[in-house]
Amino acid sequence: MKLIFEEDKEGRQGFSYGASDVPAAKPLPEKYRRKEQASLPSLSELDVVRHFTNLSRLNFSVDTNFYPLGSCTMKYNPKFTERVAAFEGFSQMHPLLPQLSGGGMLAQGSLEVLYGLEKLLSEITGMSAFTLQPMAGAHGELTGAMLIAAYHKKRGDRRKYVIVPDSSHGTNPSSAAIAGYEIKVIPTGPDGYMDLEEYRKNLNTDVAAVMLTCPDTLGIFNPRIKEIADMAHAAGALMYYDGANLNALLGKARPGDIGFDLMHINLHKTFGTPHGGGGPGAGPVGVSSALEPFLPISRVIRRADGTFALDYNYPESIGYIAPFYGNFGVLLKAYAYILALGKEGLIRTAEIAVLNANYCLARLKKYYELPFDKACMHECVFSASKQSENGVHALDIAKYLIDRGFHPPTIYFPMIVKEALMIEPTETESKETLDAFIDIMIEIAALAKDDPSAVTRAPLNTPVKRLDETRAARQPDLRWKRP
């Protein structure tokens, strides 16, 4: 496919201006004006539409292909939530509209959505209160780490460590480190669970918090989670729940009930909003009552007369963490999704997500090494170690899947599994889709034995074939030069 600059035809244009019937404006001061014409292609409207339509057809998306990206939960987003977010009363509302007086009553519906979503998330997770301001999961983690620091500072308690298992989500250590903590990493034992003896050795009064992904990135739920939480609390540490994998527990278990003090939720992973991809995203943070005074300002409150308002009177708050009130459109989609599914629908979501993952596990474990052979939750982690003995690595499997019309699963993560293949089918995929994907994975396993080069040559059907990936990352050629 040509670059849009290569489609340039001198003199062609996609619009024409009529004669101006208003006085000419004063030109910008010379220092703000371009010294030379911008080097842009000349195209008709049809050229532009066809170029970008064809470009979009090269994209992988949940709307076009199965996307079993482990840990990132690329579930299908129902279109009705997009329609709700596009309602003019929401999409056209200015963020600085007065809350209560005069035309400010127009903001009441939006404030009620925020208030209602906080209450729903609190009920679903067992938390006392939520802030909806964090604009991504990692932003939520950082907010949580700041709340942990504020909590201990208020108590005059100087703590410097955060415990993070090696099976946790990858952003946990960095979020805690940005908040000023040193990280203690606890290894995974041979049973696939966090090594409790190592945990016990590292847990002391210098530990501020334990950050756990639950289920972990192996797709395994730790049956001793309550014991782990009790041990942390006995040492005065807080329990932080990384909500990236909440899709597995939705309606089945509440983090607040099993010992967690605070958590974030990746709304796109759990409640049918778009994946972040640099924005928009949302990572609301919930807390127990002990941490509620430190939540970011402002907070949505319901006044005695039933109206809603933003309240800034929280002297112990960690302050502002986002402009205005986070990504409102994303929050609105999550609110619509929860109301549409209801209690039984949310429970069913978790049930099907776990069923689908275990179906993949059961059908594929004869062909790929399973590092921890036990029932999984919402995702399963295999290793391509057997295939690598014949020169077929996880990366090769990923490339071959692209040729066959499937997005690859997550590869080489979690890093504690050699040649990792991390598959998360989510609850939105049918058995027919899963079977088609599994059949291709079985085909790859056979080719790895009988014709490895058929896999290692892939992809053959994409615009860009095999690259020198190290050189492409370090010496990218991103500039087109006119011949």
What is the tens place of the pLDDT at every residue in 456-465? Answer: 999 999 888 8
pLDDT of residue 106: 74
With a CB cutoff of 8 Å and minimum separation 6, the contacts of 147 are 262, 285, 287, 291, 294, 295, 318
Of residues 34 and 448, the one with the higher pLDDT is 448
Whether residue 278 is predicted with pLDDT greater than 70 in this model: the reply is no
What's the longest Cα–Cα distance across the chain? Answer: 81
Whether residue 43 is predicted with pLDDT greater than 90 in this model: the reply is yes
Task: For residue 97, tell me if it sits in a domain.
Answer: yes
463 and 335 within one domain: no
Whether residue 482 is predicted with pLDDT greater than 80 in this model: the reply is no
Looking at this protein, which amino acid is placed at residue 355? L
- Rama region for 26: left / alpha / beta (φ>0; ψ in -120 to 50; rest): beta
Closest CA to 360 of 317, 302, 422: 422
Q: How far is CA 338 from the centre of its chain?
A: 18
Give the torsion sign (CA, 129, 133, 134, 135).
Answer: positive
pLDDT of residue 100: 63
306 and 217 within one domain: yes
Q: What is the mean pLDDT of residues 457-481?
A: 86
Both tokens assigned to 128: 């006392």
CATH number at residue 119: 3.40.640.10
**How far apart are alpha carbons 369 and 300 in whole angstroms?**
50
Q: What is the mean pLDDT of residues 186-193?
A: 95
How confident is the model over 122-178, as pLDDT tens digits?
999 999 999 999 999 999 999 999 999 999 999 999 999 999 999 998 899 999 999
**How far apart are alpha carbons 432 and 412 in whole angstroms?**
27
pLDDT band at 39 (very low <50, low <70, confident <90, very high): confident
Quick check: 131 and 284 in contact, CB under 8 A? yes
Task: For residue 319, tell me if it sits in a domain.
Answer: yes
312 and 248 within one domain: yes
96: containing domain: 81-340
Burial of 242 from C-beta contacts in 10 A (0-12 / 13-18 / 19+): buried
Whether residue 181 is predicted with pLDDT greater than 70 in this model: the reply is yes
What is the rounded average pLDDT for all residues in the chain? 93
How many other C-beta atoms can be found within 10 angstroms of the C-beta atom of residue 135? 21
**How far apart are alpha carbons 138 and 264 in whole angstroms?**
9
160 and 89 within one domain: yes
Of residues 16 and 399, the one with the higher pLDDT is 399
pTM (2 decimals)?
0.90
39-53, 263-277, 304-318, 410-424: segment of lowest average pLDDT: 263-277
442 and 325 within one domain: no
321 and 363 within one domain: no
312 and 364 within one domain: no
**How far apart are alpha carbons 117 and 387 in whole angstroms?**
47
CATH number at residue 358: 3.90.1150.10
Which of 309, 340, 371 is the endpoint of a domain? Answer: 340
411 and 315 within one domain: no
Task: For residue 57, tell me if it sits in a domain.
Answer: no
Which of 324, 340, 356 is the endpoint of a domain? Answer: 340
Task: For residue 46, tell me if it sits in a domain.
Answer: no
Q: What is the mean pLDDT of residues 282-287?
A: 96
Cα angle 265, 267, 271; round to 5: 115
**How far apart are alpha carbons 287 and 285 in whole angstroms?**
7
**How far apart are alpha carbons 394 and 419 in whole angstroms?**
6
Task: For residue 228, tell me if it sits in a domain.
Answer: yes
Whether residue 195 is predicted with pLDDT greater than 60 in this model: the reply is yes
375 and 335 within one domain: no
Q: How far is CA 417 from the centre of its chain?
A: 22
101-105, 106-110, 182-186, 478-482: segment of lowest average pLDDT: 101-105
pLDDT of residue 95: 80
Task: For residue 247, tell me if it sits in a domain.
Answer: yes
pLDDT band at 277 (very low <50, low <70, confident <90, very high): low
pLDDT of residue 42: 93
pLDDT band at 101 (very low <50, low <70, confident <90, very high): low
Closest CA to 98 of 300, 297, 310: 310
**How far apart are alpha carbons 108 and 291 in whole angstroms?**
27
Q: What is the mean pLDDT of residues 208-212?
A: 97
pLDDT of residue 162: 98
Q: How many domains does the chain have?
A: 2
Of residues 103 and 239, the one with the higher pLDDT is 239
Whether residue 478 is predicted with pLDDT greater than 90 in this model: the reply is no
163 and 292 within one domain: yes
Element (H, E) at 401: helix 394-403
Task: For residue 159, tell me if it sits in a domain.
Answer: yes
Instruction: Give the strands of the sheet with 380-383, arranged side by side.
Output: 380-383, 420-423, 410-411
pLDDT band at 432 (very low <50, low <70, confident <90, very high): very high
Whether residue 104 is predicted with pLDDT greater than 70 in this model: the reply is no
**How far apart are alpha carbons 397 and 407 in whole angstroms?**
11
Which of 340, 355, 390 is the endpoint of a domain? Answer: 340
Q: How far is CA 396 from the centre of its chain?
A: 25
**How far apart are alpha carbons 149 and 143 in whole angstroms?**
10
326 and 404 within one domain: no
Task: For residue 39, tell me if it sits in a domain.
Answer: no
385 and 311 within one domain: no
Give the torsion sign (CA, 258, 262, 267, 269).
Answer: negative
